[in-house]
Chain A
Amino acid sequence: MSARLANISLGRTSLGRIPHVGSLGIILALLILGQLVNPSFLSPMNLWAVLSVSALLAVASAGQTLVIISGNQGIDLSVGSVMTLTALIVSGMAGSSDAAVPMALAVVLGLGTLIGLANGIGARFLGLYPLVVTLGGSFVVEGLGLVYARSRPPQMPGPMIENIGIGRFLGIPWLVLIGAVVTVAMTLLLRKSRYGRQLYLVGSNIRAASAAGIPVTRVLLTTWAASGFLAAFAGVLLYGYVASANLSVGAPYTMMSIAAAVIGGTALSGGAGSFVGTVLGAVIFSLITNLLIMLGLGPALRYAISGLVLILVLFATSRDAR
């Protein structure tokens, strides 16, 4: 898909063979445009800020990427609500001290994995569309958040979580470092591991994969569980980044994670895509948001414009065949 994008923009030149050249071109254009709009756009401070937000979005989109690659209409609409729930629980359990953070992390990561697994069971065994299961699941997860938030008022994060969210290590924001580690791990998982190869096969043709002896059910359930786990992890990062938790803190991430994966060239039909593409998609999305903020647009109009961007991306990459 990204290859097709590249061909559209550059013709069949040798440039078209560089991976992700389309995304990189868009990023370059956005950087130039941003500098024209505001001379401080390319300042180190703003660039690190954009990269931090991109890293957070990339981690939130990691599970989404896996689920979309797994094909068979796979899409996870519960990412945002899982992130909200994790932020609320970490805030409630750990409070503003560091002592209970490991415990809270264990609980939310386990809970996220369970939610993902439940989504996977609904999609695989009940024959419900992933879309419907995860939409219903997100309703339930939001309900859980509501119940939990009532019993414990959310607090400011402790120094450890806050440091991960906005602190730096050797001048580089922790979020960017974590994003880099997740990128390497995800790329190794997709390209080098047995699971990764099986995932692409299941995504491109589930019957052929099954006939070839691939444990399809195990691959799919692993994918869904990983999606829940990664969304929960992203929720912890989000809590550190915004330094507060409320009932809608994660909501926009459902749409943004799909947008990042699709912009990055993950095929909605499954079986194709890479995590580096998703990371670049996240950078594009964050650059656009940053640009819109600099232009002085409020959150409501930014919402509307990111929807329009998603429509444009869909138009460019994934029109259905007649």
Chain B
Amino acid sequence: MMLRQIWSHSSFPAGVLAALALIFALSVNPGLLTTGSMIGWSTSQLGLWTAVLGQTLALMGRGIDLSIGSAVSLVNVSAIALFEAGWPLTAVVPATLVLGLAIGALNGALVGGLRLNPLLATFATSFVLLGLALQIRPAPGGMAPMPAVMFLNGASWGIPNAMLLFVLVLLLWALIAASLFWIRLRAVGTDPVRAWNSGLPVQWLKFGSYTLAGLFTGLSGLFVTLCVGAGDPLFAQPYTLLTIAGAVIGGVALNGGSGSGYGAVLGAVFVGLTSDIALGIGISPFFQQLIVGCVLLVGLAIVVLSGRWLQQKSNAALITASAHRGERA
């Protein structure tokens, strides 16, 4: 029974895929386990791991966020602009989080307040945000303060600081996932009409989910800034696709209401590892995007098809059980 619970858990396929990818990556490049490579790997992935939690929040309330890539880019170039204007780190950190929250609140107001189609509303905001990011910094450049960059690219007690920071992010996520808000948001995602009928403030919950997602976007932008040490309006553009793929592979339902943030992170780990492996086995960087894209599509197909198969199996089991009890199927 216990085993069955594990293997029908929504994040099971992502866990398997991530584990397989990790084993494969280690067999290709055994040097990955050294602290130095772990630092390189975790700092390059930290932004994606954080952003996928924002995508999970949006998806949970039957929304989606197509603006994550542009939002992270905008936070990134804004943070560098603030650094260049002479702001200290202690002021830039809260500023980026406020910017992230504001972007999230904008999406939330469009989806929750004006009841626009989440797909198209966030698609439209992605252009607004990308345009602003390109206006602030048309080409990559700028500098983040060296001590902060050194800290994020460093390690404490042999563990990369980026991983330690991500543990804090996961703690924040655990707080959210244990809250009443989360339960209500899942209810909205499962069936908005029933949630509304039972008295839940559906539009406010959607607004809240996007605003909170903005907090993770802001964090992701901050991490990207401090990991890369520069501003680049296009660096985070693939995050939109990668977070959706990561969340869906991690078992978060595209039509809302089910899945978990931890599964989504596992999915994002898998997504990130595919490009590392592609590089590790010596594939030219030109082919990397093609291969990662194909692996993502195959991963999505596997997760969706296996989910459907499990669903059919459990339906069949229910029917058999009720037949045993002498009920009509």
Contacts and interface: CB of A to CB of B under 8 A. Distances in A.
Interface of A: 75, 122, 126-129, 131-133, 135-137, 139-140, 142-144, 146-147, 150, 255, 258, 262, 268, 298-308, 310-311, 314-315, 318-322
Interface in B274-300: 284, 286-294, 296-297, 300
B246 to A, nearest CB: 12
Tell me whether chain A's interface is mostly helix, strand or loop, or mixed: helix
A249 to B, nearest CB: 15
B150 interface: no
Contacts of B248: 132
Given A304-B129, A304-B131, A305-B131, 13 more contacts: A126-B304, A135-B241, A137-B297, A147-B287, A255-B123, A268-B117, A268-B120, A303-B127, A304-B127, A310-B120, A311-B125, A318-B120, A319-B116
Nearest to A142: B289
Contacts of A315: 114, 116
Contacts of B132: 300, 304
A123 B300 CA distance: 12
A132 B244 contact: yes
A284 to B, nearest CB: 15
A311 B135 contact: no
A300 B115 contact: no
> Top 5 A-B pairs ranked by shortest CB distance?
A304-B131, A143-B290, A307-B127, A303-B131, A140-B293
B294 A140 contact: yes
A139 B296 contact: yes
A132 B300 contact: yes
A301 B290 contact: no
Counting chain A CB atoms within 10 Å of each CB, the highest count among B131, B292, B296 belongs to B131
Interface string B295-323: 01100110011001000000000000000
Contacts of A311: 110, 116, 121, 124-125, 128
B297 A320 contact: no
19 contacts: A126-B304, A139-B296, A140-B289, A142-B289, A143-B290, A143-B293, A147-B290, A150-B284, A302-B131, A303-B130, A303-B131, A304-B127, A307-B125, A307-B131, A311-B110, A311-B121, A314-B116, A314-B120, A318-B120
B304 A128 contact: yes
Contact of B301 (A126, A144, A301, A320): A126
A176 B125 CA distance: 31
Counting chain B CB atoms within 10 Å of each CB, the highest count among A128, A136, A255, A314 belongs to A136
A136 B116 contact: no
B120 A258 contact: yes
Contact of A136 (B117, B245, B288, B291): B245
A140 B257 CA distance: 29
A147 B131 CA distance: 27
B102 to A, nearest CB: 15
Interface string B58-73: 0000001000000000
Contacts of B88: none
A217 B119 CA distance: 25
Given A137-B297, A147-B286, A300 B134 contact: yes
B163 interface: no
Contacts of A139: 238, 241, 289, 292-293, 296
A262 B116 CA distance: 13
A314 B128 CA distance: 14
B128 A308 contact: yes
B138 interface: yes
